[in-house]
Amino acid sequence: MLEITEGSHAVAKAVKMSRPQVIAAYPITPQTHIVETLADMVANGELDAEYITVESEFSALSACIGASAAGSRTYSATTSQGLALMFEVCFNVSGMRLPIVMTIANRALGAPLSIWNDQQDSISLRDCGWIQFYAEDNQEATDLHYIAYKVAESVEVLLPAFVCFDGFILSHTYEPVDMLSQEDVDRYLPAYKPFQKLDSDDPISMGMYATPEYYLEFRYEHDQAMKRAKDVISKAGKEFGEMFGRDYSALVEGYRLEDADTAIVAMGSLCGTIKDSIDEMRLAGKKVGLLKIRCFRPFPAEEIRNALSHVKRVAVLDKNVSIGAKGAVAIEVRDALYGKTMPVLGYILGLGGRDVRISDIKNIISLAESGKGDQFYGLRTEVL
């Protein structure tokens, strides 16, 4: 049913309907409303789950490891400095192949301190072996949680997943969201049946020591699982579409891209503003289109290459920067297009909550058309 609600509340409801058995989280802006709402739901008896309050994000995700290893459907949420504090634990979760789902309300990293949005936090953890989804709006943000659990818990995958949505820009926005019913969610996402778990009657060890004779193979298997996740995501997204009418089978999604000369590539809430910008530019006769990356890990290189093979130039918008190199998405898109001749130009923008307007997207298209790129966009003139 379509209802108007805050993004964080919509996500909390989706998490509740996913029936997590254990939640361990530590509140941090702008993620707080999600875990506050879930804590209320558990306290009110609306959600039959164990809510573990902890003293830090490190402990939150560590508690999740125990819960997930014991066979529970497990959830957490964090952002920015909180995710940074989880760095070590994130590798342990994925290395132990625990299908934990964690919402990231994307926020900049300090110093300087910023509570505002960019995607530096989750992008900085791109190599930690978790699946990474990015939501354009609160509809996607809610739906992707059901899909994330389905994919993560699949025996072909068994990997944890981030569902990333832009802090404040989505988390604090009221907008209509079509919420599924509990019956619908139960049909799509049955109870979690762990492939293996810690069980005192049938003891196993998890997360053991790997000597040089074995470690490489563990990493290979982990990478293979992530690659298999592409098909599993497509299938889970297609099934979701067949059941509820919103198809998430594509890891990347084109908008007015078929006949575009210039393609913009972006992730997250920026895609909505870009779509409005494209409609305006199309009216003025400019052939511009968007390729939205919904799934950043596994990286859909082949899909990107196929979707962009016909364009004359590519402008990649990054709400992150790999300092000393480029934006992470630009680097990977260029890699996906290796051997192609069109220019792939990167623009770093919107860091630390800098607003991005339609006029900015139009300016970037003009820059791309004149071959100027690989730059920070929208800098205050005093630093130039």
The contact set with another protein (CB under 8 A) reads 4, 6, 115-117, 137, 166, 168-169, 172-176, 269-270, 272-273, 275-276, 353, 355-358
Handedness of CA 147, 150, 152, 157 (dihedral sign): negative
Shortest gap between Cβ of 290 and another protein (angstroms)?
11
Rounded to 10 deg, the angle between the 7-17 and 32-43 helix axes is 40
Q: What is the C-alpha separation between 228 and 224, in angstroms, rounded?
A: 6
Cβ distance to another protein smaller for residue 44 or 205: 44
Shortest gap between Cβ of 318 and another protein (angstroms)?
16
Shortest gap between Cβ of 227 and another protein (angstroms)?
32
Shortest gap between Cβ of 357 and another protein (angstroms)?
4
Closest among 305, 294, 312, 307 to 368, alpha carbons compared: 312
Query: In Å, how far are 64, 250, 326 from 152, measured between CA atoms?
Result: 15, 17, 30
Cβ distance to another protein smaller for residue 4 or 383: 4
DSSP per-residue letters across 193-216: --SS---TTS----S----TTTHH
Q: What is the C-alpha separation between 335 and 26, in angstroms, rounded?
A: 37
Cβ distance to another protein smaller for residue 80 or 154: 80
Q: What is the C-alpha separation between 190 and 178, in angstroms, rounded?
A: 20
Q: In what order do the strands lie in the sheet with 252-255?
A: 252-255, 288-293, 262-266, 313-318, 344-348, 375-376
Q: What is the DSSP letter of 371?
A: T
Q: What is the C-alpha separation between 206 and 194, in angstroms, rounded?
A: 14
- 338: Cβ contacts below 8 Å, ≥ 6 apart: none
Shortest gap between Cβ of 166 and another protein (angstroms)?
8
Cβ distance to another protein smaller for residue 57 or 166: 166
Shortest gap between Cβ of 362 and another protein (angstroms)?
12
Shortest gap between Cβ of 130 and another protein (angstroms)?
25
Cβ distance to another protein smaller for residue 52 or 358: 358
Shortest gap between Cβ of 127 and another protein (angstroms)?
28
Cβ distance to another protein smaller for residue 166 or 318: 166
Cβ distance to another protein smaller for residue 51 or 248: 248
Q: What is the C-alpha separation between 266 and 350, in angstroms, rounded?
A: 12
Asked whether 268 and 253 are in contact (CB, 8 A), the reply is no
Cβ distance to another protein smaller for residue 44 or 341: 44
Shortest gap between Cβ of 58 and another protein (angstroms)?
27
CA 108 to chain centre: 15
Q: What is the C-alpha separation between 125 and 84, in angstroms, rounded?
A: 8
Q: How many CB atoms lie within 10 A of CB 210?
A: 13
Which amino acid appears at position 80 of this protein? S
Cβ distance to another protein smaller for residue 113 or 204: 113
